[in-house]
Amino acid sequence: MKILRRVVLIFIIVVGLALAAGLWKVNRLANAHLSIQQDTYFTVASGTRRIALAQQLYKARLIRQPRVFQWLLYLHPGLTNFKAGTYRLTPKMRVADMMTLFASGKEAQFPMRFIEGMRLSDWLKQLRASPWIKHTLSDDSYATVAKSLQWDDSSPLEGWFWPDTWLYTAGTSDVSLLKRAHRRMVNAVNDEWNARDKNLPYKDKNALLTMASIIEKETAVAVERDRVASVFINRLRTGMRLQTDPTVIYGLGDNYTGRLTRRDLETPTPYNTYIISGMPPGPIAIPGLASLRAAAHPAKTAFLYFVADGKGGHTFNTNLRDHNRAVRDYLQTLRDKNEQ
């Protein structure tokens, strides 16, 4: 009996030591920091089980002991409720923290910055270059985008997207992001249209957005936007042509070489405001809220002309004589800068 008791005692001790050693390994793994030196993205695929996850984490060199990791999940079942998605892991994160993140379902958020003044074609290139976007558009033509958005308006699609930093999770489709930006711009245009000053020479919301896009391309100086708007509004009211270079550049498309020539100004396009009267058929860029509000609430001025002053802003004038003098001053400023 004494021998049997000793054997049982030894067995209990051995098992106890083994369990203690196992628990120590599990706790050490749970509190171990991930083997990464910088932020890393890891995707938990839909339907992934514990064994498969352990092997994937080991293959990605995020953990060192896949078998011990499985025991961690057995002992802490709350960590096994991991959800499919792409997650951002940080160097200071522990293995237990990682599993808690997987269980939370809080996927990594990726930024897509759509900047005012850009064209829709620029945004489409950004979307196409993003590895985390689900690409569903067959090509980047405006016709394809319009069809995907079920755009049934007769006005051009350019400009009808809200500039912002849009956050999305991995696998979000390109069309989904465009729809969000489009809805936001439609709402903003509706708001500004309803609150616009009376008797503005806009026949519809597209004209308001078109004016906002021209203002966006003409000046980046916030305090000037309503004055720039006033120049174009005054021209429309008096029957003068808008004669704005950004519309000419837009109309030239890929034929624009980076420098406008006299030939360019004489080339007929629907957007050449040196040739056409009134507004071009649609926006030439994506405007921000400030330009949209300037188009809806232009300053009350008699200005008919403006030209760059060489210092980042513009000089505004009511008559051609003073405008020509301002142009000469601007050209002299450029010459002085080139001689320095």
Q: How many CB atoms lie within 10 A of CB 20?
A: 10
Residue with tokens 């016709």: 143
Q: Which residues in the chain land under pLDDT 70?
A: 1-30, 78, 339-340
Domain ranges of the chain: 33-108, 110-188, 200-339
CB–CB of 77/160 below 8 Å? no
Cα(216)–Cα(289) distance, integer angstroms: 10
Q: How many CB atoms lie within 10 A of CB 32?
A: 15
Q: Tokens standing for 282?
A: 């649609």
CB–CB of 228/235 below 8 Å? no
Cα(311)–Cα(333) distance, integer angstroms: 9
- How far lies 284's CA from each of 128, 175, 247, 334, in Å? 21, 21, 6, 27
Short-list 121, 153, 160, CA closest to 139: 121
Cα(107)–Cα(87) distance, integer angstroms: 5
Return mean pLDDT, the chain: 88
- Sort residue 125 into left (φ over 0), alpha (ψ -120 to 50) or beta: alpha
What DSSP designation does 80 have?
A: G
List phi, psi (to 5°) of 156.
-60, 155
Q: How many CB atoms lie within 10 A of CB 136?
A: 10
Q: How many CB atoms lie within 10 A of CB 68?
A: 19
Class of domain 33-108: alpha beta
Cα(20)–Cα(13) distance, integer angstroms: 10
For residue 69, the model assigns a pLDDT of 78
For residue 229, the model assigns a pLDDT of 98
3-class state of residue 150 by DSSP: coil
- How far lies 290's CA from each of 166, 242, 315, in Å? 19, 21, 20
For residue 75, the model assigns a pLDDT of 72
Q: What is the pTM of this model?
A: 0.85
CB–CB of 88/39 below 8 Å? yes
- How far lies 330's CA from each of 46, 224, 230, 264, in Å? 62, 17, 21, 22
CB–CB of 124/141 below 8 Å? no
For residue 6, the model assigns a pLDDT of 54
- How far lies 10's CA from each of 5, 7, 44, in Å? 8, 5, 44
For residue 256, the model assigns a pLDDT of 92
